[in-house]
Structure 1
Amino acid sequence: MRAREIRRYEQLLRRLDITIPVPFDARTFSEHIADKRGRPIHILPMDTSDATAPCGLWLATAKADYVVVDNRAPAVLREHILLHELAHLLCDHRGRLRLDAADLSFDFLDPAMVERVLGRTSHYPDAQEREAEGVASVISRFAARRSPVPRPRDDADERTAALDRVSSALAADRSWKT
């Protein structure tokens, strides 16, 4: 990410004036967003490990937002997936993915009620996906710099621990300004 993009994403977050909790917790952050927008955000952990399904989705209906997060991903990645989907919401992105194309079924949700669908995959083919990834990264950096307590992990997985160490090291790089 270039410095110009980082500044633009930081300005977006400041304009939205959403409280970033300290210590940082992505679910609490999503509650702050929901309060600010005046509509609920429901976080749905699902197994999206099928190769055809994105690892995260944001589904918007007339009354609520639903964020699907891959529950099989390591904790640090689940948090980033959630932030990526929240970034779509904050940027008011318009989805081009059809719900049936996501290859996920939602017993509680009529596909006809879904107004927008955006999915997170491991590549970012368009500007909306790149912007959501950039905003999510800026939120993570901002939160890591202000969180005095390391975020808890829900497992002792070595890969998760390694990702946490890398994330902490990157957050310690204060060469860019907020």
Structure 2
Amino acid sequence: MAATDAVRRVDAVIDALDYDFRLFEVDHFLKHLRERRSRPLHLFRYPLEPELFAFWLRQDEADFIFVNRTLHWVHTVHCLLHEIAHVVLGHRGQDISKAIDPAILQEFGIEIALGHFRRGRRSEMSDPGQEQEAELFVSAIQGRLNQVQRLSELYGNPTSIAELRPFVDALGFNS
């Protein structure tokens, strides 16, 4: 798939989510996805091996995303969005049981480990094409969040001083 086609596809999928990115918070976004897809999506911050950042498992009854709880929160959100990308972009899962500690699968009663995983080493990508598309998704979401933030800075409250707000509002800057 050409890069521009991939960008268009990712943008179309994000548009179809019909999400207001002005409201973005991880929990709110996950709730929206669950409702929009009418399918459970479980997130676990779990102590994974240091090189394993996150993975997604598709099961008949639900989707499971595990993110390494030792990651910095910015990296956590990035990895979570990356795994969500696999879910909403309809990526096919692969057998990733060899990349995951069998104790995790046993703890959660998972017999068939189909999904994607994200490691620190690029050579261990599940499917390079789908991984690149998932990164495009993360980049597109970050772009939308940056745009929302910038618009808020430009057109949001012109003052953060509560006592001045009635006077500034009377000037019509928020119209």
TM-score computed with the length of structure 2 as normaliser: 0.71
Q: 1:138 aligns to what?
A: 140
TM-score computed with the length of structure 1 as normaliser: 0.70
Q: 1:129 aligns to what?
A: 131
Match of 2:50, SS state, is: coil
Q: 1:59 aligns to what?
A: 57
Deviation at 1:104, TM superposition (A): 5.2
- Percentage of matched positions with identical amino acids: 24
Deviation at 1:35, TM superposition (A): 0.6
CA distance in structure 1 between the aligned counterparts of 2:110 and 2:134, rounded to whole angstroms: 24
Hey, which of these two has a bigger chunk of helix by percent?
2
Report if aligned partners of 2:83, 2:134 keep a CA contact under 8 Å in 1: yes
Which of the residues 87, 92, 98 maps onto 2:85?
A: 87
CA distance in structure 2 between the aligned counterparts of 1:115 and 1:73, rounded to whole angstroms: 23
Q: Deviations over 1:63-82 (max 9, x none)?
A: 11111011111111100100
Which of the two has higher C-alpha Rg?
Answer: 2
Q: 1:33 aligns to what?
A: 33
Q: Gaps (5+ residues) in structure 2? A: 154-175
Q: 1:6 aligns to what?
A: 7
Report if aligned partners of 1:98, 1:117 keep a CA contact under 8 Å in 2: yes
Q: Deviations over 1:49-106 (max 9, x none)?
A: 333xx21111111111111011111111100100000000001111223324322532
Q: 2:108 aligns to what?
A: 109
CA distance in structure 1 between the aligned counterparts of 2:117 and 2:9, rounded to whole angstroms: 23
CA distance in structure 1 between the aligned counterparts of 2:90 and 2:117, rounded to whole angstroms: 14
Tell me which moved more, 124-133 or 3-12. 3-12
Matched, 1:43 2:69: no
